[in-house]
A and B are shown apart, each in its own frame.
Chain A
């Protein structure tokens, strides 16, 4: 008996799905590659006509421009690379301070817009609606040109207790100046922190063993504060000296002088981002089921304990992902400092482009820096999110 030969049903090549998938991808890759090739060739060609070649060696040339504010040593004899670093540090400074202040203000506004007090509620809602519907750039330029530059001259400075001077040349606040013992004191603080953390760790472990959690949040900071105070008193000279701002001729001196540009970018970013953060906070708190509140009340928790132990831990899970993107937005928005002249990463890089004509390299560097900052922030927040998220089966 002859077994029927199974003729292999051959699908024509152009209808074979496996083939089509591979072919489609190959064609796609080829198209992308050839477009990239064309663009790159045009660019190299264009650059050659301008008489430049790509490369980062220009970064070691002398910058020959001044930067108004720097956290590390900088002068016009420094290199472009140094200028770039100054810019990065300024961006980080503004972003970090912005994140801290806008989180505080955002939480206050978010809680206020859930308040049962109708005036507080409406005021906060009105503020949020207004800020969310105007462009940040307009807000920044408004703060800079219509507020901080319109402050009185140094002679007629507005003096607040402290003393704090508000002038059109900047805002002077009291500040601590490091003395000779400052470095030693930093070590004291570091050791104090380590001891406090060790204590917290031991207490938490003991709490796990005995089932009675001691007040870690009280004792650990107390220990740290104790070590810090003792260090301050024991050292031969206090590590910081208060320096008060004062008017000297047509300028402010002493203390810490915050430039109008810095004040404008910081306050603009904080006021703007806080409105968005408050919406995030509000949504998070509202996401906690009402039964949870009722259960907490039934257990006899006070309203503060309810917030601290029941509402916030649960709200946090909802809050963190959108909060991360708000932090990222703030960091990226700090690049708008170019409109008001605060020397952040983008502003400095733009000056470097104008001085050296190296647009391609500098824009790539700037993009890379922002990309790294974004990736680091989201990596950190993802790690934190892992810790607070609901552990399910």
Chain B
């Protein structure tokens, strides 16, 4: 009888053997075997070439010597603490978010923590290395607090992401005249990765309301609003970003009354925002279309007016449905900000071009561009990874 009361065992799984695995995954037919061999040779050739290049051919002084330029451009050294504060706040919020929404520790959290620690192990100045360790500690602290007090942290952390964008803009730009607490740093001094991030953040923050308004306009049954939205969206989506940026640089000054000038960074921001708004509008429209009509009718039956129906019922659902698409668009925006280098701003790529023009680093294109692409890759990849995690955590597409 003892045998019967034993729990039913799952069917035996295939036994793992190295040879069996190899046969199943690499050599299950003659052409796969051939492909496998060719791929191994190819991968070996690539990795060996890369390693040889990176360790013995490439000269990385060009990156080390210009690191500050790459990261913050000409931003005044005395005001750099503001950027550090932004980074610390970011570390705290990220740590707290990770504690809230990922169950357990996870490899990604360790990687996030290891990033600054790894940087602190590199031969920078002592100050820089201590600040890096501080970032890791702050992130860990945020994670710990959020793990302990999830109920207290949930709403503030969500909102702090929205407020953080505004906070960064205020901190980096400053708002008091020279000599005050936060003196204004003119935007022509912003550069490097900092400018890239600012362009992205400002693009996101300002294009969002415009994009939602355009999407609503396109779905409205008032012909004038609908056709002007359609015209704007299709016009912007039909032309390359670089023409919009050129228009902003060359034609925006013409549109302003005599005597009013706006600086080049601001012009680029206007161009990027308008461009991004048109694409965002189409994504939001997709989200709006995915909401069943019953939702609108139910809201109508509850006696909500048009504004309430949209703001309380339709939009929250529509926006939640398109979170992954929006993140994808923001990554695209992050990458697209490189185009401002063509109109002469010093974002990460623009700085790379000036570094390459330094006489002592002539001919170091491969090193500089490899470094720059690696930075872009790292940030885009991390953002898209986080977005996939949020999707899973929120169950987008499941509910």
Say if A and B assemble together. yes
Which residues of A pack against B, CB within 8 Å?
Answer: 21, 24-25, 28-29, 32, 39, 42-43, 45-47, 49, 115-120, 123, 129-130, 132-139, 141-142, 145-146, 150, 332-333, 335-336, 338-339, 346, 350, 353, 359-360, 363, 366-367, 370-371, 374-375
B32 interface residue (CB < 8 Å to A): yes
Report 10 cross-chain contacts, Cβ distance below 8 Å, ordered by A residue: A130-B377, A134-B373, A137-B349, A139-B373, A339-B341, A346-B242, A360-B250, A360-B251, A366-B243, A370-B240
The answer to whether A133 and B243 have CB atoms under 8 Å apart is no
The answer to whether B254 and A43 have CB atoms under 8 Å apart is yes
Q: Which residues of A contact B366 (CB under 8 A)?
A: 142, 146, 150
**Complex partner residue of A332 from B223, B240, B376, CB under 8 angstroms:** B240
A-B contact count (CB 8 A): 153
**Complex partner residue of B258 from A45, A120, A371, CB under 8 angstroms:** A45
B255 interface residue (CB < 8 Å to A): yes
Of chain B, the residue at the smallest CB distance from A39 is: B255
Q: Which residues of A contact B380 (CB under 8 A)?
A: 132-134
Other contacts beyond A25-B222, A371-B235: 9, CB < 8 A:
A43-B255, A117-B28, A117-B32, A119-B26, A133-B376, A134-B377, A145-B369, A338-B242, A374-B238
The answer to whether A123 and B224 have CB atoms under 8 Å apart is no
Which DSSP category, helix, strand, loop or mixed, fits chain A's interface? helix
The answer to whether A134 and B335 have CB atoms under 8 Å apart is yes
B19 interface residue (CB < 8 Å to A): no
Which B residues from 25 to 40 make CB contacts under 8 A with A? 25-26, 28, 32, 35-36, 39-40
A332 CA to B237 CA in the complex, in Å?
Answer: 10
Question: Size class of B's contact patch?
Answer: 35 or more
Interface membership of chain B positions 244-270, coded 1 if the CB is closer than 8 angstroms to chain A and 0 otherwise: 001100110111111000000000000
Q: Which residues of A contact B258 (CB under 8 A)?
A: 42, 45-46, 49
The answer to whether B255 and A335 have CB atoms under 8 Å apart is no
**Complex partner residue of B339 from A45, A47, A336, A353, CB under 8 angstroms:** A336
**Complex partner residue of B243 from A32, A118, A141, A370, CB under 8 angstroms:** A370
Q: Which residues of A contact B369 (CB under 8 A)?
A: 138, 141-142, 145-146
Of chain B, the residue at the smallest CB distance from A337 is: B242
Of chain A, the residue at the smallest CB distance from B28 is: A116
B59 interface residue (CB < 8 Å to A): no
Which DSSP category, helix, strand, loop or mixed, fits chain B's interface? helix
Q: Which residues of B contact A360 (CB under 8 A)?
A: 250-251, 254
The answer to whether A133 and B331 have CB atoms under 8 Å apart is yes
B317 interface residue (CB < 8 Å to A): no
The answer to whether B254 and A137 have CB atoms under 8 Å apart is no
**Complex partner residue of B365 from A21, A29, A135, A145, CB under 8 angstroms:** A145
The answer to whether A117 and B240 have CB atoms under 8 Å apart is no
Counting chain A CB atoms within 10 Å of each CB, the highest count among B239, B335, B381 belongs to B239
B228 interface residue (CB < 8 Å to A): yes
B225 interface residue (CB < 8 Å to A): yes
The answer to whether B376 and A363 have CB atoms under 8 Å apart is no
